[in-house]
Structure 1
Amino acid sequence: MQQLILDIIDPPAPSFANFVTASNAELISTLTNLVALTGVSPQCYLWGATGSGKTHLLHACVQAVLSHGVPARYFDAGSFTLADTADLAFVAIDNVEQLDADRQIHLFNLINQIRDGQGRLVTAGNVAPMQLPLRNDVTTRLGWDAVYQIHPLSDADKRYALSKHAEARGFNLQAQVADYLINHWRRDLPSLMAALDSLDKYSLQTQRAITVPLLKEILPA
């Protein structure tokens, strides 16, 4: 029964605070300015491998803008239309490599509007702009302003983040527990953090120390 715990506990909502910056400090600085609607560049393109944090950062951007009462919205490639952006000051579009022909035209027109001073835009894809399987006039526009590759966290970065998270919860995380969690659970940091929270709760419930055997009890087989 305990093995169901990690399946029903959702990771925390994406934010800049729970994104481990590591070697992406310049990117986070650029996005912070972008969501404040004060950055010099009106748009930014992010790219990286699956699990590198692209979707996390796009959602974090939207939530940061919304927290100031400014209209913003996240779109996946399959749900994006130009008409839906009419009343938005900030738009985030994910997985742009999946845009169909019509939505590529919508993005082309949206970027032109952004260039005319109508809002801010952050987009994300799996490769650099000029390698995207999109129209040339779209890929060119995606590369007009800030472009960043998101560098994934190393296992050492994840261990450090998990250790600091454990300290904040009031316990010391053994290295072997962190290693087992990283190697046997989802690789993205929010999921690892949520798993650690579950482990801490289970430890308190059972009055047992946090060890690899205890972790094995709550991880799905």
Structure 2
Amino acid sequence: MRQLILDLLPEAPPSLDNFVAGSNAEALTGLAAWLAPTNRESLFLLWGEAGAGKSHLLQASQCAYSDARRDPDLSTVEPQNDCHAVDHVEALDAAGQIALFNLINRLRASGGRLLAAASAPPRRLALREDLRTRLGSGLVYRLLPLSDAEKLAALGEQARARGLVLPPEAFSYLFLRAPRDMRSLAALLTAIDRYSLEQKRPITLPLLREVLQTSLDI
């Protein structure tokens, strides 16, 4: 189900501008300031539960991106880059933890920077103590998931930007039947827009049902 939805993700790559901040305006502002060329702070860590937007922001940073879930020993990290983004640091194995510790030290010495993301604050991560200390020594921000009201407002804004006219009950209908993270919901909105144009039909609950049946295999 989820893969079918992700296959419909909008073509626009993650950016700071298309991140739905919700209650995370302070973290977003802090990250934008950290990414500025004049910044001298070497480490920035985002933590929060799945779906809060950590991966979106790391990929939007334009730093060399690595995902510890796919590369737990960080064997694919390119050492020549002066800005690295390491996602899901809680998934690092023993070799990956040593590699990240050494990377942080090298970046500090060379004036480079590390952007990291984790599921919990540094002190609660099941990592080497010296690595936890390093990760906690920089800027640390928590990302909060969007509330349902914030998701509805964001989807409404995206619909208006597309010129879509949805029945009042449309979003409630989608919330009950689709994955409720913003990436999946935005993908569904894209699919609804395309399907409506292809079928030359207004967006109604029957049309939404058809899109869901096609997209979610329900």
Task: State if a TM-score over 0.5 links the two structures.
Answer: yes
AA at the equivalent of 2:61: C
- Structure 2 distance, partners of 1:83, 1:158, is 35
- Structure 1 distance, partners of 2:209, 2:124, is 42
Matched-pair contact (CA < 8 Å) for 2:6–2:184: no
Q: Which residue of 2 aligns with 1:29?
A: 29
Consecutive unaligned residues in structure 1, runs of 5 or more: 63-71
- Structure 2 distance, partners of 1:34, 1:207, is 46
% identical aligned pairs: 43
Of the structure 1 ranges 165-174 and 145-154, higher mean CA displacement relative to structure 2 is found in 165-174
Matched-pair contact (CA < 8 Å) for 2:52–2:146: yes
Q: Which residue of 1 aligns with 2:10?
A: 11
Task: Provide the alpha-carbon RMSD of the alignment.
Answer: 2.1
Q: CA deviation at 1:36?
A: 2.6
Q: Which residue of 2 aligns with 1:116?
A: 109
Task: Check 1:26–1:7 CA distance in 2 against 1; reply closer, same or farther (3 A cut).
Answer: closer
- Structure 2 distance, partners of 1:92, 1:134, is 18
Q: Which residue of 2 aligns with 1:73?
A: 64
Q: CA deviation at 1:205?
A: 2.4
- Structure 1 distance, partners of 2:76, 2:19, is 31
AA at the equivalent of 1:174: P
Are 1:43 and 2:43 counterparts? Answer: yes
Matched-pair contact (CA < 8 Å) for 1:52–1:153: yes
Aligned length: 209
Q: CA deviation at 1:83?
A: 7.6
Task: Check 1:188–1:34 CA distance in 2 against 1; reply closer, same or farther (3 A cut).
Answer: same
Are 1:128 and 2:121 counterparts? Answer: yes
Q: TM-score, normalised by structure 1?
A: 0.86
Matched-pair contact (CA < 8 Å) for 2:89–2:118: yes
Q: Does the residue aligned with 1:168 lie in a helix, a strand or coil? A: helix
Of the structure 1 ranges 204-213 and 44-53, higher mean CA displacement relative to structure 2 is found in 204-213
Consecutive unaligned residues in structure 2, runs of 5 or more: none
Correspondence 1:48-197 to 2 at 5 A: 48-62=48-62, 72-77=63-68, 78-79=70-71, 81=74, 84-197=77-190
Task: Check 1:150–1:175 CA distance in 2 against 1; reply closer, same or farther (3 A cut).
Answer: farther
- Structure 2 distance, partners of 1:218, 1:7, is 14
Q: Which residue of 2 aligns with 1:68?
A: none
- Structure 2 distance, partners of 1:185, 1:103, is 36
Q: CA deviation at 1:191?
A: 2.2
Q: CA deviation at 1:165?
A: 0.8
Give deviations 1:80-113, integer Å, cap 9, x for gaps.
Answer: 5378332102100011111111111111111112
Task: Check 1:108–1:158 CA distance in 2 against 1; reply closer, same or farther (3 A cut).
Answer: same
Of the structure 1 ranges 21-30 and 180-189, higher mean CA displacement relative to structure 2 is found in 180-189
Q: Does the residue aligned with 1:199 lie in a helix, a strand or coil? A: helix
Task: Check 1:16–1:174 CA distance in 2 against 1; reply closer, same or farther (3 A cut).
Answer: farther
Q: CA deviation at 1:7?
A: 6.5
